[in-house]
Amino acid sequence: MAAPSMFFLLATVAVAAALGMLIARNPVASALWLVLNLFCIAGLYLTLNASFIGVIQILIYAGAIMVLFLFVIMLLNLSALPELRSLDWARIGGFAVGLVLLSQLLYVVALQFDLGAEPVGAGTAAEVGSAATLGEILFTRYALHIQVAGILLLAATVGAVMLAQRRFE
C-alpha cells in the first residue's frame, strides 16, 4: 500500500468526478467525468499494488467501454434533456434512499469486523497482484471460467448486433 497522501488525493478526485457525472447536464460531459473517475480508480488499484488489474481497468474500462459509450452518445446526437423538474416527493425520497444506503454501508465499515488475518506486507501484495501470479492462476484453476467468459462475450457481441439492427414496430 502506498502513502496516505496519494490515496486521499485519488479518492477526493474520484468522488468529485463521480459527483460531476451525476450533476453534469450534457451526456458527453457525464461520460468524460466518468472517464476521470475510472482513471482515479485505476490509480487506487496501483496504490494497492494490484498492477495487473490497474492496467486492465485503464485498457478495458477507460479505453474500450467508455469509447463505446461516447460513440453511442455522439451517434444518437442527443441534446441535453430538460433535467430537474421542480423539487417533488420522488426526488426527496430518492435522496432519503441514498442517505439510508450510505449510512448503512458506512456503519458496516465502522463496525471494525474481524477478518481473522493480519494484512499482508507490501512485498507479498505486489507479488499477488502481479500479472505472473494472476496469469498462472487464470489458466490453471480458472481455465473453465475463462472459456465461459469467452462464450458470454461472443453471445453478447452477436446479441448486440442483432438488437441494434432490429427495428421495433
Partner 1 sequence: MDVALNWYLALSAVLFTIGTLGVLFRRNAIVVLMSVELMLNAVNLTLVAFSQSLGDPSGQMLVFFSIAVAAAEAAVGLAIVIAIFRSKVTVDITEINLFKH
Q: Binders of partner 1 among 79-138, rule CB under 8 A?
A: 81, 83, 91, 94-95, 97-98, 101-102, 105-106, 109-110, 112, 115, 117, 119-120, 122, 124-125, 128-129, 133-134, 137-138
Pull the grid cell for residue 43: 490509480
| Rounded Cα distance, 19 and 12, in Å | 11
Grid cell locating 59: 485498457
Pick one of 4, 87, 114, 140: the residue that binds partner 1 (CB under 8 A). Answer: 4
* 39, 69, 92, 139: which one binds partner 1 (CB under 8 A): 69
Q: Which of residues 38-67 bind partner 1 (CB under 8 A)?
A: 38, 41, 44-45, 47-50, 52-53, 56-57, 60-61, 64-65
Q: What residue spans of 111-165 are helical by DSSP H?
A: 122-128, 131-138, 143-165
Burial of 63 (C-beta count, 10 Å sphere; 0-12/13-18/19+): middle
Strands (DSSP E) along the chain, which ranges? none
How far apart are CB 86 and partner 1 at their closest, in Å? Answer: 14
- Residue 66 is placed in which grid cell? 467508455
Q: Is 73 in the site for partner 1 (CB under 8 A)?
A: yes
Task: Using CB under 8 A, pick the residue from 86, 88, 140, 167 that binds partner 1.
Answer: 167
